[in-house]
Structure 1
């Protein structure tokens, strides 16, 4: 073990000598509702055009068992940015609370290590009209109101929760053309305020990332690029739609066009890093926040329909979709690229999770990992210095579902229904092994219960499923 650890530190020394800057830059790219199938590197479909994303995998590491902490956006983002299971601080799912101010984010810790920090795109961690528990506690004058609207939340109550007050010095937070910003795309620094920015939402988010890199590449930086795609409403320009002239469902076409826009953006970011002389010593994480919402039937609703619908993305080959703790909801595209510090073209199949991003970033920044973090530094595992698995177990709890993965096996509990799967086989979640290995299932359930006993709301559901029933009746009807 001592030899392995020494080898790792030699690697880090080589990086620092070769590139002058000991601490690598970090870019975390988090897409929105993108299924596992929808990067070419995962080899599941052939209608994609993602050459720049695939090049990240070809010149970096493709993680084939990469997970997020929830099959829904707010809790998934909270887990990523804190490095802690979000159930520990009560943010189990959308519609409860914003990301608590008592939690410390990666960006805040990276600032302490001398990093300049920035973000653009989707935030979704401030109070909103669905934050029922928070509203009751913080806006008691609304306690008797049956239904809340966005206008019920005074903006001054949101400001402490905005990205500019959560460790991000340079922020360009927004979804479409309205952005909460501390800088403009022509290089001007401003006080945090709402600004209008014309242009296609994904191109704007790319431009905001490039502007940040060009202005802040002289010292280590941490940038969170939270692309709002391919989440609905589906929007794409002619430039990207014209790349997909084939006959296909219209929602699939728009999804592919949006992913192509993201791919172009990643290509431009790589070019900018190269121009600024920092490409080799910049680590990039590419992850989706959860699986695609298939809505079971993948109905090809008109693009004019702006509500919740299939976003055109695919979770192939996994079972299920967004909202489920089956693989389709939580096993996502996951790439780590660092030319100076990681092997090229490696496929890594041990289970890892978005929690590991925080631990990895802090380790590379030279920060002692706080004991409260749930992730691990992935670098020794991805380089092969450490041969064992990064995690003994990974855990989930969402609505009436809970799950644990240990090695090849996954125990899934949905209300009072229980499953055991070997998710490394061709059958994965199509073959329930619980009758064959009841002792193993019992052991994993106990470990899951022990974890759940540590959470803000303790325990796991033992009741009949509610919101998830339609999904499990469909996807798991014969299991």
Structure 2
């Protein structure tokens, strides 16, 4: 305890300019190529394109997982899915692990004000109303579970343990649009905390499979896109008769709301002391009313959400920090969602935990110092028969069918020559296959909650 207090005292004496605010905007199911600055040709994203031009764009950043739950766990713990507690989606856990230290707790000790607004990234339970606060966030507003966040008009949201009920909301329609409420809450919280260093985890719920956009956002795409002649009625997600215009409108709406956040920072005069990071939680969605092929959301990448191929795990990353991040920079540094804990800790003066998988990206962000590199990246997944993947340098190894056997065939791709993962070169690269087997075993700590069927 004395050491913790000493560390807190040290960071509290740092000048404000050395302790920037951090806003991490996390999109939901946004594909690698859904933004103009990543090659999108139809959907308009002028704000994010401008932030990329004024800051840094990473081309080889990866989400923590191919679905949202474990991806968000990796982001907040600094651990990849071979080590973190949540390794899949669903009704997961209702209380924090006492042995697990999340990013907000580290930042609280460093004197930061912390908030998570939007979809909760800590465990998953609609009944555990204080779970986000119990997990370290001083302020929370939004959805408690991933499944509830599928509905743009929920019957309730939660603010700091209290249910806020919207009796006229009927999941798919109503009079309280959750995304609008989330953005307004974020803007109000930033304004209220402008005088102290803060960390805002702004986890929006769009663009997801449940399609909804206000008329003003989807109208510009009518006539620009050709809608399907028949629309399949959705049972869980919202049915939308203009799915293409609506999805495009959702992405453009998000872009505009990022613009509102940036405009507020400038209005408050804190933009030069605030780093804004924009990423997605996993690859492009191909479910509900949206099809990846509608806008080529994965671009040249193979696969979508739930795949171990690049389209399932590669994510856009834009970082904007006027006066610190030089404009117009692009980096091919290989990074992943579990890098945010050590990165944000270094930026804020907080102490990162030992024995995490993440590596600080601060040298890449600032352009100063030598950037450490990963020996490899690792993912594992428990749906669709079980799968795992490892990236070592330019090579990517993928193993499917783990529910049947852990000794099945391994695919190998050379991403420097085959970004679309079209040619499996495993037969000609026995040494890479052997290395992948070694890393699959070494990168994983067994979990009593997560087992492939072949392990049970």
Task: Report TM bin, short chain.
Answer: 0.7 to 0.9
**Equivalent pair of 1:117/1:168 in contact (CA under 8 Å):** yes
Residue 208 of structure 1 is matched in structure 2 by 185
1:402 matched to 2:403? The reply is: no
Given the superposition, is the C-alpha separation of residues 193 and 202 from structure 1 closer, same or farther in structure 2, using an over 3 Å criterion?
closer
Task: Render the CA deviation track for 1:125-179: whole Å, top value 9, x for unaligned.
Answer: 4444xxxxxxxxxxxxxxxxxxxxxxxx7x3xx1342x23222222221344532
Task: Render the CA deviation track for 1:426-464: whole Å, top value 9, x for unaligned.
Answer: 454111111222112212321221112x34359996969
**Equivalent pair of 1:76/1:289 in contact (CA under 8 Å):** yes
Deviation at 1:343, TM superposition (A): 2.2
Matching of residues 293-312 of structure 1 within 5 Å: 293-294=285-286, 310=291
Three-state SS of the structure 1 residue aligned to 2:427 is: coil
Residue 75 of structure 1 is matched in structure 2 by 70
1:159 matched to 2:129? The reply is: yes
Matching of residues 104-119 of structure 1 within 5 Å: 104-119=101-116
Residue 397 of structure 2 is matched in structure 1 by 411
Residue 274 of structure 1 is matched in structure 2 by 266
1:448 matched to 2:440? The reply is: yes
Residue 375 of structure 2 is matched in structure 1 by 392
Matching of residues 11-410 of structure 1 within 5 Å: 20-43=16-39, 45-95=40-90, 97-98=92-93, 101-102=96-97, 103-123=100-120, 125-128=122-125, 155=127, 158-161=128-131, 163-174=132-143, 175=149, 176=153, 178-182=156-160, 192-196=162-166, 198-245=175-222, 246-249=224-227, 250-294=242-286, 310=291, 314-387=297-370, 390-399=373-382, 400-410=386-396
Given the superposition, is the C-alpha separation of residues 231 and 166 from structure 1 closer, same or farther in structure 2, using an over 3 Å criterion?
same
Which TM-score applies when normalising by structure 2? Answer: 0.81
Gaps of at least 5 residues in structure 2 are 1-13, 144-148, 170-174, 228-241, 402-407
Deviation at 1:61, TM superposition (A): 1.0
Measured in 2, the distance between the counterparts of 1:377 and 1:260 equals 31
Task: Render the CA deviation track for 1:292-342: whole Å, top value 9, x for unaligned.
Answer: 2325xxxxxxxxxxx576476621211111111111110011112222322
Measured in 1, the distance between the counterparts of 2:418 and 2:430 equals 21
Gaps of at least 5 residues in structure 1 are 1-15, 129-152, 183-190, 296-306, 465-479
Measured in 2, the distance between the counterparts of 1:327 and 1:392 equals 18
**Equivalent pair of 2:81/2:378 in contact (CA under 8 Å):** no
Given the superposition, is the C-alpha separation of residues 235 and 458 from structure 1 closer, same or farther in structure 2, using an over 3 Å criterion?
closer
Measured in 2, the distance between the counterparts of 1:209 and 1:32 equals 17
Given the superposition, is the C-alpha separation of residues 328 and 99 from structure 1 closer, same or farther in structure 2, using an over 3 Å criterion?
farther
Measured in 2, the distance between the counterparts of 1:94 and 1:440 equals 31
Residue 231 of structure 2 is matched in structure 1 by none
Q: How many residues align?
A: 398
Moved more, 80-89 or 389-398: 80-89
Deviation at 1:248, TM superposition (A): 2.6
